[in-house]
Amino acid sequence: MSEECEPRILGAPEAKVVQTKEIELDNPLLVCCFPSAGLVGTIAANTIIEQFEMDEIAHIRSRFIPSAAVFMDGRLRHPFRIYGKSENNLIVVTGELPVSENGLYYVSSALLDWASSIGVKETVILDGIPVQGIPTQRKVLFAAEEEKVEELKNDEELQILQKGIITGIAGSILAETLCRDMVGFALLTPAIAVVPDPEGAVSLLHALNRLYRVNVDTTQLEKSAEEIRKKLEEMAQQVEGIRRSQPSAPRDPTAYQRMYA
């Protein structure tokens, strides 16, 4: 249960977590989801929040987060929000606006300092890896701190991401977990670069369910994913039909490759 409380503020002048509701938790899992390829993280976060009817318990204020009004169902929301649910022992962090490069350290530090204060020991990032066209394989890859790697390897459906760089607020949060008594890792999946991709979000939520028994129902998301896939395939066929109907003039070798691999 969560209840209204006097706002509790934690952080430095550059970034502060403002907690507005009390909540009872026992070493909760912190799930961080931000806009990325296919919006898979955002879709996953919204699915969890809505399905479990999670309360907004805190938000982050910082001059490094753009000053803009975010509307959801006609209601104003903070652009960087923290949700919680004691029954699920879960914290979900999400937002729609990018954090300025100069403020990544301050925002991620404020978030993790607050998370540590309520007993968080593990932090997971859900994110998408942009690919051209529709992904043919929906692997879920992981990158993790050393002590978490062996555990994740035991899941036969996960695959280690051998090397790479995670940037933005997601990368900054993971970098900061390395400096704390907290384990950080990322679950990533190939996603359509410029179109909302619920199928990618489904893959991430299935992995989260296996690892932590979160029990998120993905039935509706799977239906949405199939509808989007059919529309994209129809569009691809139309584009191919247009290409074939064009006169056989010298072809630009890059034509149509931007949309479909």
pLDDT at residue 42 is higher than 60: yes
Is the pLDDT reported for residue 13 higher than 80? no
Residue 245 pLDDT: 60
Is residue 202 one of the residues assigned to a domain? yes
Q: Model pTM?
A: 0.81
Instruction: Give me the DSSP letters along 99-158.
Output: PPGGGHHHHHHHHHHHHHHTT--EEEEEEEEEESSS-S---EEEEE-HHHHHHHHTSTTE
What does DSSP assign to residue 38? G
With bands split at pLDDT 50, 70 and 90, how would you rate the model's confidence at 258?
Answer: very low
Place of tokens 């890059």: 254
Section 232-259 average pLDDT: 51
CATH number at residue 170: 3.40.50.10900
| Structural domain includes residue 69 | yes
- Residue 197 scores a pLDDT above 70: yes
Q: State the average pLDDT over residues 160-175.
A: 89
pLDDT of residue 256: 30
Say yes or no to pLDDT of 146 above 90: no
**How confident is the model over 117-144, as a mean pLDDT?**
87
> Comparing 184 with 224, which gets the higher pLDDT?
184
Residue 26 lies in a domain: yes
pLDDT band at residue 82 using 50, 70 and 90 as cut-offs = very high
Residue with tokens 């699920």, as numbered in its chain: 88
H helices of the chain, in order, are: 40-51, 104-117, 146-153, 168-177, 198-212, 219-245
Looking at the structure of the chain, the number of domains it has is: 1
Query: Could you tell me if residue 231 is inside a domain?
Result: no
What pLDDT does residue 234 have?
65
Torsion angle of alpha carbons 37, 42, 44, 46, nearest 10°? -160
Residue 160 included in any domain: yes
| Domain span holding position 18 | 2-218
Q: Which of 195, 200, 204, 42 is nearest to 132 (CA)?
A: 195
Position 237 confidence tier, pLDDT thresholds 50, 70, 90: low
Give the residue-averaged pLDDT of 76-84: 90
245 part of a folded domain: no
pLDDT at 257: 31
Say if 256 falls within a structural domain: no
Inside any domain, residue 252:
no
Average pLDDT of the residues in 195-206? 89
| Mean pLDDT of the region 229-248 | 60
Backbone angles phi, psi at 260, to 5 degrees: -135, 125
Question: What pLDDT, on the 0 to 100 scale, is given for residue 7?
Answer: 57
Distance (Å, whole) CA 116 – CA 119:
5
Q: What is the DSSP letter of 39?
A: G
* Region of poorest pLDDT, from 16-20, 46-50, 214-218, 236-240: 236-240
**Within its chain, how far is the Cα of 158 from the centroid?**
17
In the numeric block, the tokens 């649910």 are attached to 85
Comparing CA positions, the residue from 75, 81, 4 lying closest to residue 49 is 81
The one-letter code for the residue type at 216 is: V
Confidence band (pLDDT; 50, 70, 90) for 183?
very high
